[in-house]
């Protein structure tokens, strides 16, 4: 009888743990925002930029797959940090129909704007179904523009001594890294916005020095402790999340995403990143 009771109690305990873990990954961690604070170092940083901040927000994925009002709440929290610059690194919607365009417009009423400038690029999901619909991308471009986000389509913008370069999405129809990176400047800090970090492995970065800010991976969304995530939408499986020093004079940072394709996260909290600029000694 004692053995049967032990087995029964073990089964009940195991079931409770499974249910608890499922609830955590479904209802708690997907809405548990982390503000990640990092240093961003440059050799040629002008003195007036020391201590200024750049906020990165990526992959908000507004749509019907989770309660996107979490994005609005997160924006309101982020506004209180008063960033000097804000960059958005793609995937504003999980596109299913024109409804997502209205949802994005509603969400961006609370958009986070930088004191000096706000820039964005498009991600693969911003090109609609199968990532090929230019009309969807054009609508999203205008929604972003009307919300105060300057979208960089294979082009650059210089602001207060920083050179922001925007690469269009790797999987989209307008990918042209040569055109974008021709705007690299040797005499000032360069910050490339590149949704998919796999682009870092292409032979298009000749002479580029600076930081590359990416998203796309969501950090895998579910990551067993001490193990790599089982699913990553990139070829190079070292591109998971966080800061990665590349072989040359490039520093890559992969944001874990604020939104999610599906409402499940484990050991990969949603992220907004804020970088403090510093001069490299």
What pLDDT is attached to residue 216?
Answer: 98
What pLDDT is attached to residue 26?
Answer: 82
DSSP 85-112: EEEEES--B--SSTHHHHHHHHHGGG--
Name the CA radius of gyration of the chain, rounded: 20
Q: What strands, in cross-sheet order, belong to the sheet with 53-57?
A: 34-42, 271-279, 53-57, 85-89, 117-121, 150-151
Residue that the structure tokens 């950090």 belong to: 219
List pLDDT tens digits, range 107-140: 999 999 999 999 999 999 999 999 999 999 999 9
What pLDDT is attached to residue 222?
Answer: 93
DSSP 47: G
User: Which residues are CB-neighbours of 71 under 8 A, at least 6 positions away?
Assistant: 60, 62, 107, 258, 259
pTM of structure: 0.94
What pLDDT is attached to residue 23?
Answer: 84
Helix (H), strand (E) at residue 16: helix 2-23
What pLDDT is attached to residue 14?
Answer: 44
Domains in the chain (CATH in brackets) are: 32-279 (3.60.21)
Determine the 3-state secondary structure of 267 from DSSP: coil
User: Which residues are CB-neighbours of 120 under 8 A, at least 6 positions away?
Assistant: 87, 88, 89, 90, 144, 149, 150, 151, 152, 166, 193
Query: In terms of DSSP bridges, do strands 190-194 and 34-42 run parallel, antiparallel, or are they unpaired?
Result: unpaired
Taking Cα atoms as reference points, which of 125, 36, 107 lies closest to residue 71?
Answer: 107
Residue 79, exposed/middle/buried by CB under 10 A (0-12, 13-18, 19+)?
A: middle
Regions of the chain with pLDDT less than 70:
1-21
What pLDDT is attached to residue 84?
Answer: 98
Instruction: Kindly state the tokens that stand for 22.
Output: 């499922």
Contact call for residues 255 and 58 (beta carbons, < 8 A): yes
User: Rounded CA gap, 157 and 175, in Å?
Assistant: 18
Determine the 3-state secondary structure of 57 from DSSP: strand
């Amino acid at each position: 009888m004692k053995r049967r009771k032990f087995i029964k109690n073990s089964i009940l305990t195991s079931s409770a743990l499974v249910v608890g873990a499922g609830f955590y990954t479904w209802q708690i961690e997907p809405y548990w925002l982390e503000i990640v604070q990092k240093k961003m170092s440059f050799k040629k940083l002008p003195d007036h930029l020391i201590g200024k901040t750049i906020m990165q927000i990526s992959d908000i994925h507004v749509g019907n797959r989770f309660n996107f009002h979490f994005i609005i709440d997160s924006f309101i929290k982020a506004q209180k940090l008063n960033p000097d610059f804000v960059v958005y690194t793609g995937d504003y919607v999980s596109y299913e129909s024109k409804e997502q365009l209205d949802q994005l417009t509603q969400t961006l009423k609370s958009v986070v704007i930088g004191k000096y400038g706000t820039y964005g690029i498009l991600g693969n999901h911003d090109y609609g179904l199968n990532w090929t619909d230019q009309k969807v991308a054009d609508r999203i471009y205008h929604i972003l523009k009307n919300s105060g986000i300057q979208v960089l389509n294979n082009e650059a913008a210089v602001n207060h001594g920083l050179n922001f370069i925007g690469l269009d999405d790797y999987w989209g129809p307008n990918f042209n890294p040569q055109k974008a990176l021709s705007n690299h400047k040797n005499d000032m800090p360069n910050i490339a916005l590149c949704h998919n970090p796999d682009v870092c492995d292409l032979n298009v970065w000749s002479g580029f020095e600076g930081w590359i800010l990416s998203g796309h991976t969501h950090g895998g969304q579910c990551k067993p402790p001490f193990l790599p995530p089982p699913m990553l939408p990139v070829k190079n499986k070292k591109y998971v999340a966080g800061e990665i020093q590349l072989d040359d004079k490039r520093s890559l940072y992969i944001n874990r995403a604020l939104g999610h394709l599906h409402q499940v996260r484990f050991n990969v909290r949603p992220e907004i990143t804020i970088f403090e600029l510093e001069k490299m000694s």
